[in-house]
Copies of this chain bind each other. A is one copy, B any other.
Amino acid sequence: MATGTLTIDLDAIRGNWRALAGMARAETAAVVKADAYGLGLGQVAPALAAEGARSFFVAVAEEGAELRQILGPGPAIHVFSGHMAGDTRLIAENGLVPMINSIDQMIRHVEALPGHPFGLQLDSGMNRLGMEPGEWSAVREIALTQAPVLAMSHLACADEPDHDMNARQLAAFAEMTAGLEIPRCLANTGGVLLGPDYHFEMTRPGIGLYGGLPYVDARPVVALDLPVIQCRNLAAGETVGYGCDFTADRPMRLATVSAGYADGVIRAMGPRTDLFAGETRCPMRGRISMDLIVADISALEEDPDSLELLGRHQSIDTLADNAGTIGYEILTALGDRYVRRYRGG
């Protein structure tokens, strides 16, 4: 078998949700968009529901429909992209709650599904999704005669507690939602950590559930082991991989493992990333290719059967640093060829 093994710890996800829920008096929802950040909606969502989550957020109506099949009736499923043209049937049949982003979406929703619950997505300054203050003023009266069940906005800089954008968005959101008698939701994981002012009636952690920053105390969720295909000796002066990018300055022993950027091992992490055999670092040598990575196993006494990319010694955020990105992208890039093993649940 030349496919890697991705182990996903559902108990850790449950523990992270419980810990984040314990930080707020508000209801704690769960963001499970993008296939639960790449970790498997079909396994992650039921685990979170079993832990007590009753409200979920997805990006698009298609994900909401899939989640409804997984969870059955009961839990609230909110759709960040709102009510798009062509979404009406998915929203109606699956009891989804579109987060209405614009006057156009409001009109579409109220005309197509009068009385069907919806949420209000308000822009408090990120300028990405949601109604601006002016738009919101224009439709507020009409909107409140319909069936809004939640008012939300999104923080642009919650990962940086000292950024003054946080307080500005908080003030804008408070002002836009003043007098509303429906639950309000502003805090992503970073927002939960910013403290009670940001919690309102509902929080909606995402990345923190999956073990990523900015939740530094998160339990790690993923481990990734890659099988070794073959080992070889390299003489000083020999080169490795595409473009002959790496030249050995001394004799070394190499292992070629079966995984590459087609599996989400982002190519840019190559020169700075290690694989691990137990406690021993095995630095990558040469470029990551589509299906293969070469690592320096000179420090090992025996040739390994597999090497670890993610686990106790290396987190998603370390890989993200190496690749010049964020832990979120490491997770969502994880490929389809891995055998996925779930622990707990």
When A156-B242, A239-B156, A267-B325 are in contact, do A127 and B61 touch as well, CB less than 8 Å? no
- Residues of B close to A332: CB separation below 8 A: 261-262, 290
A83-133 contacts to B (CB < 8 Å) = 84-87, 101-102, 104-105, 123, 125-129, 132
Residues of B near A63 (CB, < 8 A) are: 337
Determine how close the nearest CB of chain B comes to the CB of A190; give it in whole angstroms. 10
* Interface-lining segment among A174-182, A191-199, A224-232, A274-282: A224-232
Q: Mark A264-288, 1 if CB is under 8 A from B, else 0.
A: 1011100000000000000000100
In the assembled complex, A324 has its CB within 8 A of some CB on chain B: yes
How does the 8 Å CB contact mask read for A43-62 relative to B, with 1 for contact and 0 for none? 00000000000000001111
Contact B87–A127 (Cβ < 8 Å): no
Closest to A81 in B: B2
State how many angstroms separate the Cβ of A171 from the closest Cβ of chain B: 16
Tell me if A82 is interfacial: C-beta within 8 Å of chain B: yes
Instruction: List 19 additional A-B contacts (Cβ < 8 Å) besides A59-B291, A128-B286.
Output: A33-B290, A34-B262, A59-B337, A80-B291, A82-B229, A85-B305, A101-B230, A102-B231, A123-B232, A125-B238, A125-B239, A127-B238, A128-B292, A129-B230, A156-B239, A156-B241, A159-B243, A261-B332, A290-B332
The answer to whether B127 and A242 touch across the interface, beta carbons within 8 angstroms, is no
A2 partner residues in chain B, CB cutoff 8 A: 59-62, 81, 84, 87
Interface flag for A294 (CB, 8 Å): yes
Q: Does A258 touch B at the CB level, under 8 Å?
A: yes
Which residue in B1, B61, B80, B333 is a CB contact (below 8 Å) of A86?
A: B1
**Closest CB of chain B to A160's CB: distance in Å?**
7
A80 nearest in chain B by CB position: B291
Indicate if the CB atoms of A229 and B34 lie closer than 8 Å: no
Given A84-B1, A241-B128, A268-B268, the answer on whether A329 and B61 have CB atoms closer than 8 Å is no
A336 interfacial by beta-carbon distance below 8 Å: yes
- Closest B residue to A79 using CB positions: B2
With an 8 Å Cβ cutoff, the count of chain A residues facing the other chain is 75
Query: From residue A162, how far is it (CB to closest CB) to chain B in Å?
Result: 13
| Residues on B with beta carbons closer than 8 Å to the beta carbon of A292 | 128-129
Chain B nearest CB, measured from A207 CB (Å): 9
Pick the contact of A60: B159, B163, B258, B268 (CB < 8 A). B258
> Chain B residues with Cβ under 8 A from A1's Cβ?
60-62, 84-87
In chain A, positions 27-45 with a C-beta closer than 8 Å to chain B are 33-35, 37-38
Q: How far is it, in angstroms, between the C-alpha of A264 and the C-alpha of B264 when the chains are bound? A: 10
Q: Mark A319-338, 1 if CB is under 8 A from B, else 0.
A: 00000111011001100110
- A142 on the interface (CB 8 Å rule)? no
Question: Contacts A127-B239, A332-B262: A229 and B84 contacting too (C-beta < 8 A)?
Answer: yes
- In the complex, 27 of the A-B residue pairs with CB atoms within 8 angstroms, ordered by the A residue number, are A1-B84, A2-B59, A2-B87, A3-B62, A33-B262, A33-B290, A35-B336, A37-B262, A38-B262, A59-B291, A81-B229, A81-B258, A84-B227, A85-B305, A101-B229, A105-B230, A128-B292, A128-B294, A129-B229, A156-B239, A156-B243, A160-B243, A165-B244, A261-B328, A261-B332, A262-B332, A267-B325
